[in-house]
Structure 1
Amino acid sequence: MATVVLVAAMVAAGLIAGLFYAYACSVMPGLARADDRTFVEGMRGINVAIVNPVFMLTFLGAPLLAGVAVFLNPGPRPWVIAGFVLLVAMVVLTGAVHIPLNNALDGGGDDYPAVRAAFEAVWVRWNVVRALVTTAGFGCLVAAVVTSRG
């Protein structure tokens, strides 16, 4: 059971790291080419669409499963703890930076240039940080799986 939980945490972390990576290297650079209205309305649509059961399962499931794995895996515990801490940091970062920015974008009205200016650079910068943190968490869980197998 311990290996199953650890592998599930690793898979969930990999999926969420991949999502943030995709935003960093394709979604946001693609939207950056759009005019202000298209950018703002596109992000508003994405912010609504992403809150779905599949996203929430991976976004919250990765740190939850990693936390459970801390108690189930005595061997590679330092790697699992590090992965868990990094995945919790991803949730905290999202709650402290991205969700407030997304809410401000949603409530920002129709002054698209101003709404975009208050949102884009900060969101993009912190998403890169979030992608790096989540990827590091994934890497730690990979290390835990590898070291648990001998």
Structure 2
Amino acid sequence: MSQQALLVAAAIATGLVAGTFAAFSAAVLPGLARGSDRTFVEAMRQANAAIQNPLFFAAFFGAAVLPAAAAWSLDGPAAGWALAGLACYLVAFATTVVVNVPLNNRLDAAGEDHAAARAAYERPWTRANHARVVAATAALGCLVLAALSC
């Protein structure tokens, strides 16, 4: 795969992930915030289960691997931008692994006290998701700059 094709693939994967996170911040979470505790908890449980699929995983892990491969094969400013993109994306990746996934697991195990489950989940998960949007979008911008620097 050519260097430019690798950067384009990295940008596409990163853009898909950034868009998924942004859609949650822009529409899904505000929409669920308007509903009952039961609706919120059940919808998030179902969304968290549904997102565990090959399409999302390909983008989620590809957005980490492809920029690393691109940076390895590049030099000069393009390599720097690819590394910056990788660093930004790793912030989003780490936030997912360290904050969002454990919160999802706790929500799944929370039982039927939907008010308590929501109270423990909604604010920290939403804040972490907003951070993922910023980090993944910054990563995308860096990858675009890397591609333009080739």
Give secondary structure in 2 for the equivalent of 1:51: coil
C-alpha offsets along residues 53-107 of structure 1, whole Å, 9 cap, x if unaligned?
Answer: 0000000101100010011121411100000111112111100000000000000
Return the offset for 1:110.
Answer: 0.1
Give secondary structure in 2 for the equivalent of 1:110: coil
> Residue 135 of structure 1: which of 134, 137, 142 is its match?
137
Equivalent position of 1:94 in the other structure:
96
TM-score of the two chains, using structure 2 as the length reference = 0.97
Distance 1:9 1:88 in 2: 13
Distance 1:96 1:62 in 2: 18
Matched, 1:120 2:105: no
Equivalent position of 1:104 in the other structure:
106
Identical aligned residues as a percent = 45
User: What is the aligned residue count?
Assistant: 148
> Deviating runs (4+, > 3 A) in structure 1?
none
Distance 1:66 1:117 in 2: 37
C-alpha offsets along residues 32-51 of structure 1, whole Å, 9 cap, x if unaligned?
Answer: 01100010000000000000
Matched, 1:73 2:74: yes
Q: CA RMSD in A?
A: 0.7
Unaligned runs of 5+ in 1: none
Equivalent position of 2:32 in the other structure:
31
Return the offset for 1:124.
Answer: 0.4
Deviates more, 1:21-30 or 1:85-94: 85-94
Unaligned runs of 5+ in 2: none
Distance 1:15 1:27 in 2: 16
**Equivalent residue runs for 1:12-91 within 5 Å:** 12-75=13-76, 76-91=78-93
Equivalent position of 1:4 in the other structure:
5
Distance 1:15 1:50 in 2: 13
Distance 1:2 1:74 in 2: 10
TM-score of the two chains, using structure 1 as the length reference = 0.97
Give secondary structure in 2 for the equivalent of 1:43: helix
